[in-house]
Amino acid sequence: MVMKEAVALAKKEGRTLLTEVEAKHVLKEAGLNVVETRLAKSKEEARKIAKELGFPVVMKIQSPDIIHKSDIGGVKLGIDSEAAVAAAYDEISAAAKKAAPKAVVHGVSVQAMAKQGIEVILGITKDPQFGPVLMFGLGGVLVEVLKDVAFRIVPLNKRDASQMIKEIKGYPLLEGYRGQEPASVPKLEEEILKLSEFVDKHPEIKELDLNPIFAYKDRITAVDARIVLEDGS
């Protein structure tokens, strides 16, 4: 799914938030590194997708009306068999119906469970004066607790990407602190530049988050994605 199609569908349905599956498809099409995620509209379809992607998998409710999926029991991790996939599909669907009976539900997403890496975040917000601003920092809960982030105005060049990675206080973690496996800083720089280019081409984007991104010594992969569109885009 390309951005134009995703925007048209969202507009038709009267929403400004892309589903996680839509956001990941759009970002993958743009060359960013996101974990493959597919939408299942039945438990039989979920079983088939899980088998194709390989176990273990992660499953999440897909609804533009349910933002905090894990809070309502809409996320299941480490699912390791077809029988467990079927059970998880039913449990997630029931939890969503109970928590938000009027929510529009597109289905349940299925994605391969990524190996834990160093968690980082990339995000975009719109400044009224300067336009899109890109943020980089430590990801997961650390971004909320430590607020160890760096900002640059879009578009960025290679020097900007390199500098913003190195200026966060948590940079030693990316280098392999106390014997931990380091993260690939060149891969992170590439991702920052790809995201900058993508957002620069799409002024209809109001907000964007890739959190967490797992950074490894030879690659990176975003396991969650969120894209919010401007009203009327």
Contact of 231 with 138, CB cutoff 8 Å: no
| Confidence at residue 143, expressed as pLDDT on a 0 to 100 scale | 67
Tell me the CATH architecture of domain 118-229.
Answer: 2-Layer Sandwich (3.30)
Crossing angle of helices 3-12 and 20-29, rounded to 10°:
160
> Of the ranges 57-61, 139-143, 158-162, 176-180, which one carries the lowest mean pLDDT score?
139-143
Two domains, one topology: 3-112 and 118-229: no
Task: Report the distance separating Cα 5 and Cα 19, nearest Å.
Answer: 13
> Of the ranges 83-92, 101-110, 111-120, 139-148, which one carries the lowest mean pLDDT score?
139-148
Mind listing the pLDDT tens digit for each residue in 163-196?
A: 999 999 989 999 998 878 999 999 999 999 999 9
What is the H or E stretch that residue 162 is in?
A: helix 158-166
Task: Report the distance separating Cα 127 and Cα 11, nearest Å.
Answer: 23
Q: Where are the domains of the chain?
A: 3-112, 118-229
Fold of 3-112: Dna Ligase; domain 1 (3.30.1490)
| Confidence at residue 140, expressed as pLDDT on a 0 to 100 scale | 67
Task: Report the distance separating Cα 81 and Cα 43, nearest Å.
Answer: 13
Mind listing the pLDDT tens digit for each residue in 123-141?
A: 999 999 999 999 999 886 6
**pLDDT of 142 over the 80 cut:** no
- pTM for this one? 0.92
CA dihedral of 154, 19, 35, 107, whole degrees rounded to 10:
180
